[in-house]
Amino acid sequence: MKHQLLIVSGLFLCILLVGCGQDQFGNISAFDGSSSVSIEDIETEETKEEITDNLRNSNTTEIDMLIGNNFNLVDTAAGENTNSNIYATDKFEVQELASIFQDINQPEEISDYIDNQQILIYPDYFVILKDAEDLNNVVYIEVASDEFVRNNYSPNFLATYFAIRILDDVLDVDDWAKKRRSACQTSGCYGGYTSGQSYNKSGATNSTSRGLGSFRGGGPGSGK
């Protein structure tokens, strides 16, 4: 009887250790699967004209606050020390939205519209606009701090939109692209937001903020 109890106890302990091991190593990868954003997360009662008026008549021109106050937060990419917030809209096209932001607050750099994406660089933030792959007529608006971009983004992705010398300058790092490529060889690098694939380099188990269809606000540093 004692022998049987020892066998059962041993099996239980093995199962427990395996379960703990899976939790422990589940966060090693920077990329965690997640559910896709739904249209319900994005829809608002405000019309396109109302949102445009709110943007143009806002009491702030700070790009992170301007976006956070007027668009729904649908996800968060978690870096080691900073987060990148992803908003979404079904009322605008990428180039149309880029033009509005440019009118309100002139960026330091603005890319061409390439591969359904356009990037605006401000003194403290990158704003990455892209057509959603999974939803028709939806644009994702990612607001990432310089620090997040510097420590997480893939130089190969950004080099599609800007010259390397511009990236080195705005990120204030000599040979940033070269150094970052070296880091990318040992750990995953972030190449922009994709619904259903969450970026989590912070080690936190709850890195995403999904389904906040009515939530507004919260800059890229929120939730750290």
The whole-number pLDDT of residue 30 equals 46
Q: How far apart are CA 195 and CA 15, in angstroms?
A: 33
pLDDT tens-place string over residues 183-200: 888 777 888 898 755 555
Residues of the chain with pLDDT under 50: 5-6, 8, 11-34, 203-224
- Partner residues linked to 118 by β-bridges: 129
Tokens of 182: 């070296």
3-state secondary structure of 33: strand
pTM for this model (two decimals): 0.74
Q: Are 87 and 143 in contact (CB under 8 A)?
A: yes
How do residues 121-159 score in pLDDT, each as one tens digit? Answer: 999 999 999 999 889 999 999 999 999 999 899 999 999
